[in-house]
Amino acid sequence: MKNTFGQHLTITLYGESHGRAIGAILDGVAPGIPVDEELISHWLNLRKPHGAISTARKEADEFSIDSGVFNGYTTGTPIAIRIENRSQISKDYSELATSARPGHADYAAYCKYHGYADYRGGGHFSGRVTAALCAAGAIIISALKAKEIRIGTHIKQLGCVCDRGFENYAEDISVLENKLFPALNTQAEEAMQAEILAAKEKLDSVGGILETVVLGMPGGIGEPYFDSLESSLAHAMFSIGGIKGVEFGEGFGMAGLLGSQANDAFRVENGAIVTATNHNGGINGGISNGMPILFRCAVKPTPSIAQKQQTVDFVAKENKDLEIHGRHDPCIVHRARAVVDCLTAITLADALVGRFGTDWLSPEAGK
């Protein structure tokens, strides 16, 4: 039973959707990194539900840092962050204890945990637990930014509506860092929100595609084969509930290209090695090449919908119909953006300290 990710800088998650609290433990973080609690609150706010396009469950997401930070700086010991649950309504799930909600992990969890898991609100499988990921990731995002490594994610597609692609990476990242709904084009943003409300009106849900860019990642990070930068990032992204596909650069679009079209020609510009194009998404042979890292994540429609669905009682082994009540998101794509950014930061930081040493993230490194 493993809930820890990373090799050098690790994160462990704990808690359930309707339990007393959720939390994260970051280990392997260098001492001396500034910890801005307002920035942590900011990233938690980007993940929070807002308005009619999100769930009605409103959590304050007030957090406490129980260890690993002293006088505003990391100490080098494990950082424990705890977030209390205060808005759970467990009675909504009392009739679902042995029902397999379509698209959810209920039956898979029953097979693994033999019926002992907390099923309320999806338990440990709930997207609620990702709040702890954001709280921990905010610390790492800040540390990477101090090293001139920046991360930004926008909604590339939601339902049938598409946003423009990244144009000026640095400017677009700056805009996205402060947007609750991370679309780059205003008209696309309005159409996407309308798409969510239309699905909600039909007691349904909608999915989409998130596109992420990383600026400033040095070349030479990652390992060939089993710990490639692509496999590490994909491993991390698939740890987020609802992510069902990950592609880098042109991704599956590579299948329709010739080698002469897919290859990225190398050039020297202002004394630096660059590529003329970036079809490979900043990674060759599993290792960063210094170009922007670009990848996309497919996010499935929220499985909790209010329409009547067919399912089973997996204890009685009987077919049944199911209507899900409670407070659910008609779309999680816009909220998942913050989780993708924060977990990307943790993954890249793990690879960086594996390459340069555990103190590399510290402002004192190199002095």
Least confident of 95-109, 144-158, 292-306: 95-109
Per-residue model confidence (pLDDT) at position 94: 67
Q: How high does pLDDT run on average in the chain?
A: 93
> Residue 171 contacts by C-beta under 8 Å, 6 or more apart in sequence?
none
> How far apart are alpha carbons 275 and 291 in whole angstroms?
7
Q: pLDDT category, 123, cuts 50, 70, 90?
A: confident
The more confidently predicted of residues 60 and 33 is 33
Least confident of 16-25, 116-125, 242-251, 298-307: 116-125
Per-residue model confidence (pLDDT) at position 19: 87
Beta strands in 201-339 (DSSP E): 208-215, 243-248, 266-269, 272-275, 283-284, 287-288, 293-299, 309-313, 318-322
pLDDT tens-place string over residues 199-223: 999 999 999 999 999 999 999 999 9
Does some domain include residue 168? yes
Per-residue model confidence (pLDDT) at position 271: 93
Query: What number is the average pLDDT over the span 76-86?
Result: 95
Does some domain include residue 362? no
Does some domain include residue 258? yes
> How far apart are alpha carbons 298 and 238 in whole angstroms?
10
Does some domain include residue 36? yes
- For the cut 90, the answer to whether the pLDDT of residue 365 exceeds it is no
Beta strands in the chain (DSSP E): 4-5, 10-15, 21-27, 63-67, 69-70, 73-74, 79-84, 150-158, 161-162, 208-215, 243-248, 266-269, 272-275, 283-284, 287-288, 293-299, 309-313, 318-322
Per-residue model confidence (pLDDT) at position 171: 98
The answer to whether 168 and 215 are in contact (CB under 8 A) is no
Q: pTM score > 0.75 for this model?
A: yes
Query: What number is the average pLDDT over the span 297-319?
Result: 93
Q: What is the CATH number of the domain that holds 193?
A: 3.60.150.10
The answer to whether 329 and 56 are in contact (CB under 8 A) is no
Does some domain include residue 366? no
Q: pLDDT category, 119, cuts 50, 70, 90?
A: confident
The answer to whether 134 and 47 are in contact (CB under 8 A) is yes
Residue 299 is classified by DSSP as E
Angle between helices 130-146 and 37-47 (to 10 degrees): 130
Among 225, 235, 248, which Cα is nearest to 350's? 235
Does some domain include residue 364? no
Does some domain include residue 367? no
Domain that residue 172 falls in = 4-356
- For the cut 60, the answer to whether the pLDDT of residue 90 exceeds it is no
Strand partners, 245: 298
Per-residue model confidence (pLDDT) at position 366: 59
Q: pLDDT category, 55, cuts 50, 70, 90?
A: confident
Total domains in the fold of the chain: 1
> How far apart are alpha carbons 276 and 101 in whole angstroms?
48
Does some domain include residue 68? yes
Structure tokens at 288: 């960063």
